[in-house]
Structure 1
């Protein structure tokens, strides 16, 4: 069985929506449709990730159906007027850690479509969510806060708070360019004054995007 046939049959039989797969892997629903029809194929590594995800979802649905045989199967629906934004299943360590990679995309969270489309002027695939770890951005951002990152805004020429890989780990910091440096360099600065600023060569960094929103548990 081809990958497209596997994906189409499994999703149709178990009520898995294109939008759910799209949000999980940070792509568009149209791209999932192309996979299902066999018009395009993802990389071999992505195929294995998708297969594993679909098999886990099918197993979860099967367990639910087996445990509640007298109840009608629940249809998984995206809440009306809400859009799914993918999470990155690692923490943006304010002290370092993790790797920026699409393979770490986790289950989506839902935001009002008006906030995404009108206020941020974005689509769900432009954004991702991460959880902050550490104290270096306190009191502005605290350990356990969730930040919404706009992946379109990856140029740190304008000072702001960015999530990036600094050559050692994924960090959430104030970022600014060092003007006049012989080698293009950026300065990373914490909100907490106990943590010293440091500079890294721009070529060593991979900017995920700029922080545009955050949430905090009470």
Structure 2
């Protein structure tokens, strides 16, 4: 059994592709017009909207110049600064870390086989919160989805969890993502005398 600590819980959110489509609709632009205004190849732009790729720094700067609210694009929260400001990307970077959301599902149930580990989104977190509340290094954190209902009411299907993949020894009790026979499960782990670790489902129906 391999475990990774569930460091925090997050709500299910729209993807970067979803928010980019919304931003383009707000601006009244076609995909070709938006790609041209941002200086991005049209094939790359279509991948961003289709969540087949995540825009990097240069692409984000171009999108900001084209009028996209980059804060809303990455975080899902609109800010008060003008969307066309050339300083938006630099302002957004200060004090935040960007963590990848993988197309991986940990089952709160019978087990979910992991077949795809593509990055489907990038979510922003305050760096201060990462260090003070989680006591973790941003590079050790990953975001994945939850499937199944065995951890209800703590976790629900479609929730996103933030995991620390370096905490693999279950030194403390809490929720962990564990790998068993090629499947990922999210369960509560409890230490018992004699070095025994008890795997617990929070849902009393299990």
TM class, shorter-length:
0.5 to 0.7
The 2-side partners of 1:104 and 1:91 are apart by 12
Matched, 1:193 2:159: no
**Unaligned regions of 5+ residues in structure 2, if any?**
1-29, 40-57, 61-88
Distance 1:151 1:65, change over 3 A: same
Task: Say yes or no: does 1:109 pair with 2:110.
Answer: no
The 1:68/1:146 distance shift into structure 2, 3 A limit, reads closer
Name the structure, 1 or 2, with higher relative contact order (CA <8 Å, separation 6+): 2
The residue number in structure 1 matching 2:154 is 140
- Are positions 1:159 and 2:173 aligned together? yes
Q: TM-score, normalised by structure 1?
A: 0.50
The match for 2:113 among 95, 98, 104 is: 98
Partner of 2:131, secondary structure, is helix
The SS at the match of 1:84 is: strand
Pairs within 5 Å for 1:1-218:
66-68=32-34, 71-73=37-39, 75-76=59-60, 77=89, 79-80=92-93, 81-95=95-109, 96-99=111-114, 103-167=117-181, 169-177=183-191, 179-180=193-194, 186-195=197-206
1:107 and 1:68 map into 2 onto residues whose CA distance is 20
Aligned residues: 128
Alignment deviations for residues 124-153 of structure 1 (CA, whole Å, 9 cap, x no partner): 211011121111011111122211111222
Taking structure 1 as reference, are residues 179 and 142 closer, same or farther at Cα in structure 2, changes over 3 Å only?
same
3-state secondary structure, aligned to 1:71: helix
* Distance change >3 Å, CA 69–CA 142, structure 1 → 2: closer
CA RMSD, Structure 1 to Structure 2 (Å):
2.9
Indicate if the aligned counterparts of 1:89 and 1:105 stay in contact, CA closer than 8 A: yes
Structure 1 residues not aligned, in runs of 5+: 1-63, 196-218
Structure 2 Cα separation of the partners of residues 138 and 69 of structure 1: 43
Map Cα deviations across residues 30-50 of structure 1 (whole Å, 9 max, x no partner): xxxxxxxxxxxxxxxxxxxxx
Q: Displacement of 1:190 after TM fit?
A: 0.2
Shift of the alpha carbon at 1:90? 1.5
SS across alignment from 1:171: strand
